[in-house]
Structure 1
């Protein structure tokens, strides 16, 4: 359990009240509107959804992907073993074997390169989730002890009608929370742009250089 988990219950209670007040109408000139249009979600629902994101599964996925590299290393070692034969068939095999070795593990576009990139992306996402949860926890801690929170609680007591002061206080809290989440989502989009090219599907890059010759002599052994 991290700081965001500990603040979830009081934070969601406050933001539920904020969402209720926002529904009664926010002045059109308020700075909240650009954030609402961009995020397309009220702060309570936004935080509720973000609470489902945790770094541990992503870090675990990165470790699991890296373990797959060992299998490719074993396949590469098998392909690299010298073969005691010669002739046209042996030459064709050596050419195909070299191409397969390059496809398995030579450069970022190889299968191993893509696995390492996938693991790196999972690690980067885990770091993003951890940092974003901490930033959101700080924002919730700030709004929970703010004067606006007191106003929102007073404005949402049973039997009390929403008033302009309560709506404006709710809007200010919403701005603080949605601004932090907006920065978090910007970070996620930046990660995708950075890692996207190295996560693309790898394709077979090599083509046979020499056409196979038939009718030659194949010799087994040295």
Structure 2
């Protein structure tokens, strides 16, 4: 359990009140409006969804992907073993074997290269989740002890018209929360752009010489 988990219950309670006040409309011209148009979600719902993101599963996924590299290493070791044969067919096989070795594990576009990139991307996402959760926890801690939070609590318990002060307080809290989440989502999009090329499909990069006719000479030993 991290700081965000510990703040979840009081934060969701406050943000549910904020969402209810904002359902009647945010103050005209408030800086919250561009965030609402961009995020298309109220702060309570946004935080509730973000609480489901945890870094551990992503870090575990990166570790699991790296474990797959061992299988490719074993396959590469088998292909690299010398064979005691010669002749045109053997030469064609050697060319195919060398091409397959390069495709398996030579450079970032190889299968192993793509696995390592996938694992690295998972690690980067885990770091992003951890950092974003911490930033959101700090923002929530600030709003929970703010004067705006007190205003929202009082207004949500009052009957009838809550007045412009409550709407303004709710808008201020929502702005702080959605602003932090907006920065977090920008970070996720930046990661995707940075890693997109490294995560592309690994394609066969060369064609080998066709195997010679079946009656070609093949010498073994």
Take 2:128 and 2:67, find their aligned partners in 1: how far apart are those partners? Answer: 23
The equivalent of 1:86 in structure 2 is 86
For structure 2, list consecutive stretches of 5 or more residues without a partner in the other structure.
none
Partner of 2:157, secondary structure, is coil
The equivalent of 1:116 in structure 2 is 116
8 Å CA contact 2:93, 2:211 repeated in 1: no
Take 1:42 and 1:90, find their aligned partners in 2: how far apart are those partners? Answer: 67
8 Å CA contact 1:24, 1:162 repeated in 2: no
8 Å CA contact 2:26, 2:171 repeated in 1: yes
Q: Per-residue deviation at 1:160?
A: 4.7
The equivalent of 1:35 in structure 2 is 35
8 Å CA contact 1:87, 1:218 repeated in 2: yes
Partner of 1:107, secondary structure, is coil
The equivalent of 2:68 in structure 1 is 68
8 Å CA contact 1:61, 1:119 repeated in 2: yes
Residue 202 (1) aligns with residue 205 (2) = no
Superposed, 1:122-161 pairs within 5 Å as: 122-161=122-161
Take 2:44 and 2:102, find their aligned partners in 1: how far apart are those partners? Answer: 51
Q: Per-residue deviation at 1:117?
A: 0.3
Number of aligned residue pairs? 220
For structure 1, list consecutive stretches of 5 or more residues without a partner in the other structure.
none
Provide, for residues 127-155 of structure 1, a one-character-per-residue CA deviation record: whole Å limited to 9, x for no partner: 00000000000000000000000100011
Take 1:211 and 1:123, find their aligned partners in 2: how far apart are those partners? Answer: 42
Aligned alpha-carbon RMSD (Å): 0.9
Structure 1 pair 212–25 and aligned structure 2 pair: CA distance change class (3 A): closer
Take 2:35 and 2:16, find their aligned partners in 1: how far apart are those partners? Answer: 18
Moved segments of 4+, more than 4 Å = none
The equivalent of 1:48 in structure 2 is 48
The equivalent of 1:213 in structure 2 is 212
Take 2:20 and 2:210, find their aligned partners in 1: how far apart are those partners? Answer: 74
Take 2:9 and 2:105, find their aligned partners in 1: how far apart are those partners? Answer: 49
Q: Per-residue deviation at 1:112?
A: 0.2
Partner of 1:63, secondary structure, is helix
Partner of 2:196, secondary structure, is helix
| TM-score w.r.t. length of structure 1 | 0.97
The equivalent of 2:100 in structure 1 is 100
Residue 172 (1) aligns with residue 172 (2) = yes
Q: Per-residue deviation at 1:25?
A: 1.5
